[in-house]
Amino acid sequence: MSVNIKINNAVKKFGENTVISDISVDIKDKELFTLLGPSGCGKTTLLRMIAGFNTIEGGEFYFNEKKINDMEVSHRNIGMVFQNYAIFPHYSVRQNVEFGLRNRKLDKAVVTEEADKFLKLMQIYEYRDRKPEQLSGGQQQRVALARALVIKPDVLLMDEPLSNLDAKLRLEMRQVIRDVQKEVGITTVYVTHDQEEAMAISDRIAVMDFGVIQHIGTPQEIYHRPSNTFVATFIGRTNFVDAHYLANKKLVEVGEYNFKVDNISLEKNNDVILSVRPEDFLFHEEAKTSLKGVIKDSFFLGLNTHQLVELQHNKQLVEVIRESSLENELPIGEKISLSIKGHKVNLFSKDSKENLVKRS
Amino acid sequence: MAKNIKKYFQENGIWFLFILPALLVYLIFMAAPLLDSMRLSFYTGKGYTPTEFVGLQNYIDLFTNPIWRERFFGALKNTFIFFAIHMIVQNSLGLFFANLLANDFRGRGFFRTVIFAPATLSVLVAGFLWTLILNPHWGAINQTLKAIGLATWAKPWLGEENLALPVIALTSVWQWVGMPTVLFLAGLLGIPEELLEAARVDGASSGYVFWRIKLPLIKPVIGVVAILTFVDNFNAFDVVYAMAGAKGEPGYSTDLLATFFYRTGIAGEHPIGIPNMGMGAAIATITFVILMVGVLFWLYSSRKNEDLV
Ligand SMILES: Nc1ncnc2c1ncn2[C@@H]1O[C@H](COP(=O)(O)OP(=O)(O)OP(=O)(O)O)[C@@H](O)[C@H]1O
Ligand SMILES: [Mg+2]
C-alpha cells in the first residue's frame, strides 16, 4: 500500500488562540518525515490533526486522493505510538499486539500468525505472555510499535516516542524505528524536539516555530543551507557575525578580513548577517588577511576542543571548534588569526528572514 | 540522623505512643459497644437492662421459634432484595452516568450537580417527598399517568405488598445514585487519555473500548463501590422508616433487618411497647456478622487481585 499525505493550508485554533495559522506539506510515500521544533510550536497539534483527535479549523488533509478531514479516527487506518507507550496494562504483550487485529474481525489463526510476525520483528516474542509492567521502558515501546504496525496501517504517527527512555536506549531504539520503518515501508510522521534525533532518523524534516513551518528539507539541506536564522540556530550550532557584502567583487567583509563567495543572490552592496558554524573556522599562525581575535575560554571535550574567541574588531564572542591535538592547546589569552571556509557559510538578510545563498 | 530516630522509636516501642490516642478512641467508642452488644445478645429480660443469662436462646428463637422466625427471615430476604436492587440498578446507572460525564460536553457540570443533588437531602425529607409524589389519589405520578391515558397503570405504589419494597428501593436509588457516579467518574477520568486514543486508533468501537478497556481498568473502583453498597444497604433503615413506618408496611413487606431490630430492641413491638434488648442485640450481631463476612471476602479477593495484576 502506498500512501502519501497532503496537507493544504491547515489551520488550528483553540478558542481564540490560533496555534497553527497556515501549514502546507506533502509527505511522500514510505518517507520518514519529521516535525521538529521547540516546545509549544504545534508539532503534537499537527500530528493529532492527522490522527483525527483534533478538530480542523481550516484547510484540507488528504491520504492519497481521499480527503480525511471528517473521517472517524478508527476508520483512518493509522498506527500511532505515544510518548508514554500507552499500552494496555491489563493485557499481556500478545493481547496488546493482537488488539487492533481483533477489532478487524479476522480469523483467529490469522490474528495469531500476524501477531507472532510482529512480535518477532520487534524482538519481543519471548516476552509475549508477560504483563507490560514486567517490561523495561524500551521493551514497552517495542510493544507499542508492534501494536501500531500489526494492523498494516497506511500511515504511522509517532509523538516523541523516545523521550521517556534513557540516553543509551534512545540511540538503540531510534535505530530500531528507522530499520523497521524501512523494512515495513510505511509513510511515517515523526515528532520530536531533539534535532540530533531528527537528523539521524529522518528522510526529510519540517522545522517548525510558532505554528509555522520554517524549512522543509533533508537533514543535509537544513544543516548546510538553513532558510533563516531560526533554523540555523535550532539545527546545530552557529555564530552570527555582522558583515558587509560587496556585490561587484563578491566579497564578504568582516572587519579587516574579507573572503570571496560567489553564490549570493544580492545585486547590491548590503549589510548582512554572516552565519559560520564553529567547525568552519580555520586557525592560522600567519596570514595576510585574517580575522584577529583572543582566546577567552576553552573546553576540552575529547575529540574536539571548543574555544570562545573574542573578535578584535567588534569584541564579539564566537565559538570555534578544533579537533583536539596531543600538543598543548592554545592557552587562554593567546592572540590568534582565523579564516573562514567561505563555501560553507550562509548569509542572511538583516531581518533574519532570508538566506541569501542561492540554492544549487 | 533520621534513620537513628526511626530506629530509636522502633526499639523502644515509642511508636506505640503515636497510635495510642486513635486506638483509645476506637476502643471506647467502637469496639467496646460492639462487644457489649454481643454480650447483651446472650441475655433476656424486658426493658433496657436485660439481666437473665440465656446463652444462645435468643439466636435459637430467631431461627426456629415461629413467632420470630417468620419476621427474621422476612426481614433478611427483604434486606437482600433491597441491597440487590441498589447493587444492580443504582450502580449500573451510576456507571452509565459516569461514562457520559467523562466526556467533555456543554452543561456537564450542571448534569453532574443534578445527579448528585438528591444525595444532599435528608433521607427523611426525600422519603417524605416521595410519599407525596407516590400518593395513590393525588400524587404526581398517578395524576400524570391518568392525564396521559394510562390510568390502568396507576397503582397504590406503597400500598401493595409486592410493589412497595422495589418502589422504596428505587427512591433510595434515586437519592444515592450520585455516589457511585462520582466514584466511577473519578475512576474513568483516571484512565490515561492516550490509552483510549490508542484503542480508537486501533479501530475499537466505543462499546468495545468501554467493555474491554475502561471497565477492566476501573475494577478497583467497582470493588469499592460494591462493598460500600453492601455495607450501606444492609444497614438501611431511614428510608423505610420514613416511607413505610417502623413496621415495614404493608404487612411487613418492606421490613428490613434494621427496622426489625429497631422494633424489637428499641421501640418495642405493638401492642406491648416494651423493648426486648437481648433479642435486639442478637439481630444486630447477626447483621454485623453478615457484613463482616462480606467485607472480609472482599478484602481477601481484592488482595488476591492485587498480587495478580
Ligand atoms: N487542548 C488545547 N487547548 C488549548 N491550547 C492547546 C491545547 N493543546 C495545545 N495547545 C497549545 O497549542 C500550542 C502547541 O501545542 P503542542 O502540544 O502542539 O506543542 P508541541 O510542539 O507538541 O510541544 P512539545 O514539544 O512541548 O510537546 C501550545 O501553545 C499549547 O499551549
Ligand atoms: Mg508535543
pLDDT tens-place string over residues A299-337: 888 888 899 999 988 899 999 998 888 776 778 888 888
Percent of chain B at pLDDT > 70 equals: 96
Helix A137-150, helix A108-121: angle, nearest 10: 140
Domain B42-308 has CATH 3.30.310.10: no
pLDDT 10s digits, A140-178: 999 999 999 999 999 999 999 998 888 888 898 899 999
Q: What is the pTM of this model?
A: 0.81
The sign of the CA dihedral B37, B40, B46, B51 is negative
CATH class of the structural domain A5-231: alpha beta
Specify the domain boundaries for CATH 2.40.50.140 within chain A. 238-349
CB-CB under 8 Å, B213 with A87: no
Domain A238-349: give its CATH architecture.
Beta Barrel (2.40)
Write a three-state SS string for A170-228: HHHHHHHHHHHHHHHCCEEEEEECCHHHHHHHCCEEEEEECCEEEEEECHHHHHHCCCC
Both ends of chain B: CA-CA distance in Å?
Answer: 37
Sequence ranges of the domains in chain B: 1-30, 42-308
Chains A, B: CB contacts under 8 A, how many? 59
CATH 3.40.50.300 region(s) of chain A? 5-231
Closest CA of chain B from A88, distance in Å: 7
Pocket lining: A39 vs ligand 1, CB cutoff 6 Å: yes
C-alpha cell at A239: 555564530
User: What pLDDT, in 10s, does the model give residues A193-223?
Assistant: 999 999 999 999 999 999 999 999 999 999 9
- Tell me the pLDDT band of B37, cut-offs 50, 70 and 90: confident
Instruction: Give SS3 for A140.
Output: helix
A328 lines ligand 1 (CB under 6 A): no
Q: Which atom of ligand 1 is nearest to the CA of A12?
A: 12
What is the mean pLDDT of the segment spanning B59-84? Answer: 90
The confidence score (pLDDT) of residue B2 equals: 63
Pocket probe for ligand 1: among A13, A16, A21, A41, the residue whose CB has the most ligand atoms within 8 Å is A41
Distances (CA, A) of B160 to A351, B34, B156, B239, B240: 88, 37, 6, 17, 15
DSSP state of A62: E
Q: Assign A242 a pLDDT band (cuts: 50, 70, 90).
A: very high
Look at B201 and A79 and tell me if their CB atoms are within 8 Å. Answer: yes
Percent of chain B surpassing pLDDT 90? 41
Q: Whose CA is nearest to atom 26 of ligand 1?
A: A39
Residues of chain A in contact with residue B217, where contact means CB-CB under 8 angstroms, are 89-90
Cα B199 from Cα A148, distance rounded (Å):
10
| Higher-pLDDT residue of B159, B112 | B112
Burial B172-184 (b: 16+ CB within 10 A, else e): bbbbbbbbbbbbb
The ipTM estimated for the assembled molecules is 0.82
Taking CB atoms and an 8 Å cutoff, what residues of chain B touch A73? Answer: 197, 200-201
On whether any CB of chain B is under 8 Å from the CB of A74, the answer is yes
Minimum-distance CB partner of B195 among A79, A86, A103: A86
Tens digit of each residue's pLDDT (9 = 90 or more) over B219-262: 999 999 999 999 999 988 988 888 888 887 888 889 999 999 99
Could you report the per-residue pLDDT of A68-87, keeping only the tens digit for each? 999 999 889 999 999 888 99
Burial of B5 (0-12, 13-18, 19+ CB in 10 A): exposed
Evaluate: CB of A204 within 6 angstroms of ligand 1: no
| B299: confidence class by pLDDT, cuts 50, 70, 90 | confident
Cβ–ligand 1 distance for A228 under 6 Å, the answer no
How many angstroms does the Cα of residue A19 sit away from the middle of ligand 1? 8
**Cis? peptide before B220, omega within 30° of 0:** no
Region of poorest pLDDT, from A107-121, A123-137, A293-307, B33-47: B33-47
Q: Give the pLDDT confidence score for residue B308 in this predicted structure.
A: 47
pLDDT at B309: 43
